[in-house]
Amino acid sequence: MGVLDDKVAIVTGSARGIGRATAELLSAQGAKVVINDLDADVAQQTASEIAGETAVFGGDLTKGDAPEQLIQTAIDAWGKIDIIVNNAGYTLDAPIHKMSDDWWDRMVAIHQTVPFKVLRAAAPHLREPAKKEKEEGVEVFRKIVNVASISGTMGNAGQANYSAAKNGVVGLTKTVAKEWGQFKINCNAVAFGFVDTRLTQSKVDDNTMEIDGEKVQLGIPDQMRAMAAMMIPLGRPATVEEAAGGIFFLCSPWSNYVHGQVLNVSGGVINGMMS
């Protein structure tokens, strides 16, 4: 028996990394989970490896009506939505004077516009049941967790596009919290620091992903990886399971009175140029 029994969760970008660890944890706690990835085959494989009940939506959420199709996947499978985790994303790093319009637009699209479109598409399925519950005097909490980054709260050299988009996630989170709090829809963000995923592993030839037929290099230089441990008070990057723990808290009943907040899951990295 889990604390999320009978809950329906959507986790974007959940075939790998933090997203997969989150889907596995939510499932282990009883949730039914929609698995999403750019590659439908990879998403299907992940879904088959998770013990709990799953559905799959494979597709690029920056394209067309994919956000609406994602939401419909959950509705078709289980008829409701209780939890949304906006996690999908990747990085395209360059100093601002060398950054192309395309790289800027891609980061804003996946990290900022996609969560907006997913939440807009989900709105009727979150708000309408809540209106009925409110009329009946019943409190049922639903959860939105948007994945941000300390790059968004502090800035980070070489990531003007990513940092700006993730800062936008914080603004979106706080706004939705103010608009939908009356419906007991908790909306919070998690700002991750250095988490050991393919985005932060070594920048080598086989650490890539494909988008629209184009190979995108992932990872960071080894020099930056070596510096990370010195900057983190806990002395090492987070595992994906530790990252998922922060998301799970914000999806759980223990966060019912946590609203419009940004939870730093950074191993203690809290000092920087913060507004």
User: Using CA atoms, how far apart are residues 87 and 92, in angstroms rounded to an integer?
Assistant: 16
Given a contact cutoff of 8 angstroms between Cβ atoms, the answer to whether 89 and 16 are in contact is no
CA distance 255 to 213: 41
> Within 13 Å, how many C-alpha atoms sit on residue 99's CB side?
19
Inside any domain, residue 272: no
pLDDT category of residue 222 using cuts at 50, 70 and 90: low
Looking at residue 136, its pLDDT comes to: 96
CB 252 within 8 A of CB 7: no
Domain contains 249: yes
Q: Helix, strand, coil % (nearest 5) of the chain?
A: 45, 20, 35
Q: What is the pLDDT of residue 210?
A: 60
Q: Is residue 115 part of a domain?
A: yes
Residue 144 domain flag: yes
Give the distance from CA 216 to its chain's centroid.
20
Q: How far apart are CA 241 and CA 144, in angstroms?
A: 19
Instruction: For residue 190, list its beta bridge partners.
Output: 147, 263
pLDDT surpassing 70 at residue 219: no
Nearest to 147 by CA among 262, 47, 63: 262
pTM of the model: 0.90
pLDDT of residue 202: 43
Angle (deg, nearest 10), helices 240-251 and 17-28: 50
pLDDT category of residue 97 using cuts at 50, 70 and 90 = very high
- Please check whether residue 211 lies inside any domain of the structure: no
Which tokens go with 257? 């009175």
Helices (H), the chain: 17-28, 40-49, 66-78, 101-108, 114-135, 150-154, 160-180, 222-231, 240-251
Q: Which residues contact 96 (CB under 8 A, 6 or more apart)?
A: 160
pLDDT grade for 130, boundaries at 50, 70 and 90: very high
Contact 152, 166 (CB under 8 A): yes
Question: What pLDDT digit, counting tens, does each position of 161-217 carry?
Answer: 999 999 999 999 999 999 999 999 999 999 998 787 655 554 555 545 566 666 654
Phi, psi of 231 (to 5 degrees): -90, -15
User: 114-135 and 66-78 helices cross at what angle (nearest 10)?
Assistant: 40
Q: What is the total count of domains within the chain?
A: 1
| CATH code, domain with 124 | 3.40.50.720
- Residue 97's domain comprises 8-194+239-265
The whole-number average pLDDT for the span 120-135 is 97
Assess contact for 224 and 157: CB atoms under 8 A: no
pLDDT score of 273 more than 80: no
Please say if 257 is a catalytic residue.
Answer: no
Q: How far is CA 155 from CA 12, 147, 205, 232, 275, in A?
A: 24, 15, 27, 16, 10
Answer whether residue 208 is part of any domain.
Answer: no
**pLDDT tens for each residue of 54-81:** 999 999 999 999 999 999 999 999 999 9
What is the model's pLDDT at position 270? 66
Q: Is residue 231 part of a domain?
A: no
Element (H, E) at 147: strand 142-149
User: Per the domain annotation, does 214 fall within a domain?
Assistant: no
**Which one is catalytic: 141, 162, 180, 194?**
162
Residue 142 identity (one-letter amino acid): R
